[in-house]
Amino acid sequence: MIKEEFKLDNQLCFRLYTASRLLSQAYHPLLSAHGLTYPQYLVLLVLWEHDAQPVNDIAKRLLLETNTVTPLLQRMEKEGLLVRSKGTRDARQIIVSLTKKGKELQRKLADVPHTVGQAVMCDSVTPETAPALFVTLDDIIKTLSEHKSQEA
């Protein structure tokens, strides 16, 4: 007899993984039409919120390591979406700024959040319940991030 804790239906990780995978699939056709991947879209969201940021700040905002973000930024630079330049105060610091093409994508992708948001809405996720879900997910992310940093 299998223990309850080893049943797939009792795994939070499986639900989070599956939801994440299916959510990425929902974004795919909307982003690929503009030559973007989901991680590139996340970088654009960070830069649309506040342009001209150091690589370290972008990585921190995305909860990623800089060595993960750097190749992504390099690809985006080759595609003409952003430029990387040395910081004026500290030449070791790389500042990432949107190009005109990167800024124009915000207008072109304006419907993406609504379209994906509508795809997620269901009996238990509504415009009224979504904020509480965000709080729950943020709490999980914070707890897991703290746990990870304690192990390092």
Mean pLDDT of the 129-145 span: 95
CA distance 134 to 137: 5
Q: How far is CA 23 from CA 29, 113, 128, in A?
A: 11, 12, 20
| Cβ atoms 95, 84 nearer than 8 A | yes
pLDDT > 90: percent of the chain: 86
Over its C-alpha atoms, the chain yields an Rg (Å, rounded) of 18
- pLDDT, the chain, mean: 94
Residue with tokens 């990585």: 59
Extract the tokens encoding 56: 């370290």
Question: Does the pTM exceed 0.85?
Answer: yes
pLDDT at 137 over 80: yes
pLDDT tens sequence across 7-34? 999 999 999 999 999 999 999 999 999 9
pLDDT higher at 112 or 151: 112
pLDDT tens sequence across 66-108? 999 999 999 999 999 999 998 887 778 899 999 999 999 999 9
Taking alpha carbons only, the member of 35, 55, 39 closest to residue 97 is 55
Instruction: Provide the angle, in degrees to the nearest 10, between the axes of the packed helices 112-120 and 12-32.
Output: 140
| Cβ atoms 61, 145 nearer than 8 A | no
pLDDT tens sequence across 37-53? 999 999 999 999 999 99
Residue with tokens 């080893």: 6
